[in-house]
A and B are shown apart, each in its own frame.
Chain A
Amino acid sequence: MLASINRKLGLLLFIVAAVYLYLSFQLPNYEYAPIDADVIPKGLGILLLVLSVFLFFSRVVETDAEKAKRNIPKKELGVIAAVFAMIFVYILLFEAIGFIITTTLFIFFCSWFLGYRAWKTNILVSLLFPIVMYAIFVFALGIVLPRGILPF
């Protein structure tokens, strides 16, 4: 039943469309607008519902190139997940500790994690990049980045 990837994706999208459509029907009414805020969402929900059914029943054979794109070794997915986790931690600490320190740590460890072993260059870049960016944004563009625990 769910043999092909398109069936799985079709089912998933069907559920998304159904939830979206359900929420669209919960939208409150506003009396004085000829076209209320719920018209377009309802239309979109129905459209996605129909398209997901099409996808589910489409007999399009997946090309080899498409299949190859989908076939990613588990280990590589782990690497991507780890980078996402690093970004998550970065965002978590970004305002508390400050732009320069978190960015320095992120660039160094992320590059090192991805296999960059020239640590001298790595330290140089991870120190220079945040300082230069901070200077450009804060002093030249007037966009304030979090200072955090540093005094400047």
Chain B
Amino acid sequence: MDAFQGLLTGFQVALSLEGIMFVLIGVVVGTLIGMMPGLGPISAIAIMIPITYGMDPAPALVMMAGVYYGAVFGGSTSSILLNAPGISGTVATAFDGYPMAQQGKAGKALAIAAISSFVGGTVSVVMLMLLAPALSSVAISFGPPAYFALMFMGLTAISSLSEGSTIKAMIAAVAGFMVVTIGIDPQTGTQRFTFGNVNLFDGFDFLIIALGLFAVAEVCMLILNRKNRSLSDDQKLGSLKLSKADLKEMSGPVSRQSFVGFLLGVLPGAGATIASFISYIFEKRIAKNPEEFGKGSIKGLAAPESSNNAATSGAFVPLLSLGIPGSGTTAVMLGAFLVLGVQPGPLLMTDRPEIFWGIIASMYLGNVFLLILNLPLIPYLAKILSIPRPLLISLVIMFSLIGVYSISFNVFDLYMLLVFGALGFAMRIFSFPAPPFILAFILGGMMEQAFRQSMTISNGSLSIFVDSPLPLSLLLVALISLLVPAFLKWRSNRLAYKQR
């Protein structure tokens, strides 16, 4: 099937009544959850997964994708209005968005964010449409060693690109991998770390980890910040209209950063947060008047907003074509695929074209919906920010508990949700990043399987990973991605240490 025909199939899914409805539900829910300060796309996706049980996979996944990019779209609203980013991908949005809102130009800032997001998202879908099929057809020949190396590279990349200490990020990744070894080993039937407890035989469901480590831990942070102000009723948004000069000023950053964001989204480990920061710095460097940045610059707002949305669609490239998530959020997306019995990867495009192309086609539609939602309707949507924090906290806890219960009907899993919630909170307090943990948890089982398959092929010799060029180069990239930043950090720390 060529790409054009595939896209037609995709639009048949996306433009069916069912498709339109689920795209709309996805983007609306995503926008609303993304707006809530503290609740990120991972929580949004994890909370929505139980809704998809028993649904047809194509509309269900179209909806889940909508939740994801909707959350990134919606995250900007609270960055601009409250200076409290809805998600980490919109932290950079607040740098110039919040000052604009303080100058009484909140409406204008929201409009700039919406248009930049729309352009970033749409440009990126076009590139996703071109790149994903190409990568799929290459990846179809990858053997277990290459897959192992790819996943290993994904883990080292997310660790070295995480905020803060690389060692702590690596510890988080190893811990996530360790948790996935709990349960009956699928290849030999050996019980590992179950202590004879029947509830542990199947290991932990990823939803327990995702909701515990993110939703419940985010609730703990919300409890700490519960007295922060929510949106007051009398806050004026001002006009949403943009002048021609404004649009002209936006056009440069938006067109550049859509591409930058997409590329960073495709690469493992980066994603919306890093893309938005890099784009912000990029535009500040090349700007004629960089001193305006941070004081309500249009460029400084447009750059991260186009970039983070472009990165979001970019992240679908490895997920759809290799079946390997490159970030914490796409790891949870992969979980959503697996719950519905769909295995993303090189075979997805030929075996389930309605899903592969349906998701891509639905993104065009979703971005249009988001533009409509975020331009004329934003004053009404923003009302959700005035939900009192205590009520919000109770409801999120309930959503998490119901979500876990509805996958297993087992109360033991609810207690485990509490345990992983406590772990997630502790990780936040002690600055261990959680995305490497969830990525390792999702990739762990696949990595172990690929490792053992490789070793079976090679009769137990590790040389299979270095004999052919592809796994070797991937492992080298992984090593470099780990060593170079670690070395740079070590050197700057040593300098700082000497100066004290």
* B-binding residues in A (CB < 8 A): 5, 9, 13, 20, 23, 27-28, 30, 33-41, 44-45, 47-48, 51-52, 54-55, 58-61, 66, 69-70, 72, 76, 79-80, 83-84, 87-88, 90-91, 94-95, 103, 106-107, 110-116, 118, 121-122, 125-126, 129-130, 133, 137, 141-145
Contacts and interface: CB of A to CB of B under 8 A. Distances in A.
Contact of A51 (B174, B193, B224, B401): B174
B175 A28 contact: no
Interface of B: 50-51, 53-54, 164-165, 167-168, 170-171, 174-175, 177-178, 181, 185, 187-190, 192-193, 219-220, 223-224, 226-227, 388-391, 393-395, 397-398, 401-402, 405-406, 409, 411, 414-415, 418, 421-422, 425, 428-431, 448, 451-452, 455-456, 459-460, 489, 493-494, 496-497, 500
Closest 4 CB pairs of A and B: A114-B390, A116-B390, A37-B185, A37-B190
Nearest to B440: A44
B177 A91 contact: no
A84 B422 contact: yes
B178 A103 contact: no
A2 to B, nearest CB: 15
A35 B460 contact: yes
Nearest to A113: B390
Contact of A110 (B177, B188, B393): B393
Given A34-B456, A48-B175, A145-B405, A61 B493 contact: yes
A35 B456 contact: yes
**Candidate in A36, A52, A87, A121 with the most chain B CB atoms within 10 angstroms:** A87
A94 B404 CA distance: 13
A23 to B, nearest CB: 6
Interface of A is mostly: helix
A107 B394 contact: yes
B425 A40 contact: no
B193 A23 contact: yes
A47 to B, nearest CB: 5
A59 B497 contact: yes
